[in-house]
């Protein structure tokens, strides 16, 4: 899903060959500017030297000013995909309204107003389907964001030939990085200085997501500290999430766990997590030319949005 379908209708698009991913975080902004072919076959990909990566520290959470400074520093242009921080988006699960599809968004605004901290007058939202639980009740996940803040961010981004073509959340940016597969995969993902997010993805769809707390400083832990407490605690959260997916959602068992943590001890962490789990654990791969830029994973994943849509459309054609 490309978050916020309604936002995509508000902002115009262009046809530049360059893809720009901007990930908004609690303390900084991560930007990648990649050739459009990054999301196609390895044989067609341009060299990594054609790509640009840069982090920008925030001053008093002023995203607009930080983006303006990146424009000045890098003069980036192209089709831009923005990833909201976890503070800018809220996700709640509710029963799907029994109204025509064209009226769902309007109905949702008032149905979730008491569940989120964003006022209906300042809310833009979209939703994605959730699982059908016992009893046949259909659930949906509603994603909300403040429209006034988004307008400022988009205005700062739309300069010098740059157009905002999608706005998403970190959950979907990470999901884009996983190749479509039939078996369920649990992802353990993190951006620099952010909390860890657990995702369960099956057949390219996000079935489950959890934003954990208490793991923000995991990159600063020694291997001994990771072994003594951190990995055990995270393994427990992984097991709880797996149990919910299999028992409550009535899904087949998760076949693998993939890790994407921007820290030096990432491989050590994955090995130790594997020792605490009965499920194989490996590192989540980025596009081959950008494996060394793992701290930019969410920004890279955002640029793969259009390729994912094309892939899903092609699969739909094959099914029909």
Output 125 or 9, whichever has higher pLDDT. Answer: 125
**Confidence check: pLDDT of 318 > 80:** no
Read off the DSSP letter of residue 27.
S
DSSP E strands, the chain: 18-24, 28-35, 52-57, 78-84, 90-95, 123-132, 138-146, 162-169, 185-189, 197-202, 205-211, 256-260, 281-283
Map out the domains of the chain as residue ranges: 1-177+287-320, 179-285
- The span from the CA of 225 to the CA of 23, in Å, is 29
- The span from the CA of 113 to the CA of 124, in Å, is 11
Query: Do the first three CATH levels of 1-177+287-320 and 179-285 match, i.e. the same topology?
Result: yes
CB contact burial 104-136 (16+ within 10 A = b; e otherwise) = bbeebbebbeeebebeeeebbbbbbebbeeeee
Res 99: pLDDT: 86
**Confidence check: pLDDT of 14 > 90:** no
Percentage of the chain lying above the pLDDT 90 cut? 59
**Confidence check: pLDDT of 272 > 80:** yes
Total-model pTM: 0.87
Residue 180, CA distances (Å) to 45, 175, 204 in order? 20, 10, 5
Q: Dihedral of CA 179/180/186/189: which sign?
A: positive
**Helices 63-74/147-157 angle, 10° precision:** 10
Band of residue 307 on the pLDDT scale cut at 50, 70, 90: low
Residue 267, CA distances (Å) to 27, 258, 283, 298 in order? 25, 11, 7, 19
Lowest mean pLDDT among 35-39, 55-59, 111-115: 35-39
Res 136: pLDDT: 65
Residue found under tokens 């939202």 = 125
Residue 48, CA distances (Å) to 123, 211, 284, 294, 320 in order? 39, 32, 19, 14, 38
- The span from the CA of 197 to the CA of 188, in Å, is 6
Band of residue 102 on the pLDDT scale cut at 50, 70, 90: confident
- The span from the CA of 76 to the CA of 160, in Å, is 8
- Pick one of 3.30.420.40, 3.30.1330.120, 3.10.580.10, 3.90.1150.10 as the CATH number of 179-285: 3.30.420.40
Q: Give the model confidence (pLDDT) of 172-215 as tens digits.
A: 999 999 998 999 999 999 999 899 999 999 988 899 999 999 99
CB 282, CB 158: distance < 8 Å: no
**Confidence check: pLDDT of 64 > 50:** yes
Residue found under tokens 């379908």 = 5
Q: Which CATH class is domain 1-177+287-320?
A: alpha beta
């Amino acid at each position: 899903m490309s978050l916020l379908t309604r936002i995509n209708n508000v902002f115009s698009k262009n046809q530049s060959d360059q893809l720009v991913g901007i990930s908004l975080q609690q303390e900084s902004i991560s930007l990648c500017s990649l050739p459009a072919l990054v999301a196609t076959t390895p044989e067609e990909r341009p060299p990594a030297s054609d790509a640009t990566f840069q982090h920008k520290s925030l001053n008093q959470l002023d995203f607009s000013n930080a983006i303006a400074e990146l424009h000045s520093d890098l003069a980036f242009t192209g089709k831009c995909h923005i990833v909201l921080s976890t503070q800018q988006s809220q996700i709640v699960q509710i029963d799907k309204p029994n109204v025509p599809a064209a009226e769902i968004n309007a109905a949702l605004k008032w149905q979730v107003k008491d569940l989120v901290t964003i006022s209906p007058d300042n809310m833009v939202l979209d939703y994605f389907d959730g699982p059908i639980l016992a009893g046949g009740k259909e659930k949906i996940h509603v994603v909300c964001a403040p429209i006034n803040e988004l307008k400022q961010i988009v205005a700062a981004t739309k300069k010098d030939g740059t157009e905002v073509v999608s706005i998403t959340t970190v959950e979907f940016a990470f999901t884009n990085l996983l190749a479509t597969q039939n078996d369920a995969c649990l992802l353990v993902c993190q951006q620099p200085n952010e909390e860890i997010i657990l995702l369960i993805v099956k057949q390219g769809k996000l079935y489950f997501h959890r934003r954990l707390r208490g793991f923000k400083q995991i990159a600063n832990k020694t291997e001994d500290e990771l072994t003594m407490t951190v990995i055990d605690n995270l393994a427990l959260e992984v097991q709880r999430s797996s149990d919910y997916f299999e028992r409550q959602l009535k899904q087949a068992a998760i076949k693998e766990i993939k890790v994407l943590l921007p820290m030096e001890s990432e491989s050590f962490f994955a090995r130790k997590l594997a020792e605490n789990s009965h499920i194989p654990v490996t590192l989540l791969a980025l596009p081959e030319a950008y494996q060394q830029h793992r701290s930019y994973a969410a920004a890279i994943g955002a640029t793969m949005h259009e390729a994912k849509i094309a892939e899903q459309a092609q699969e739909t054609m094959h099914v029909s």
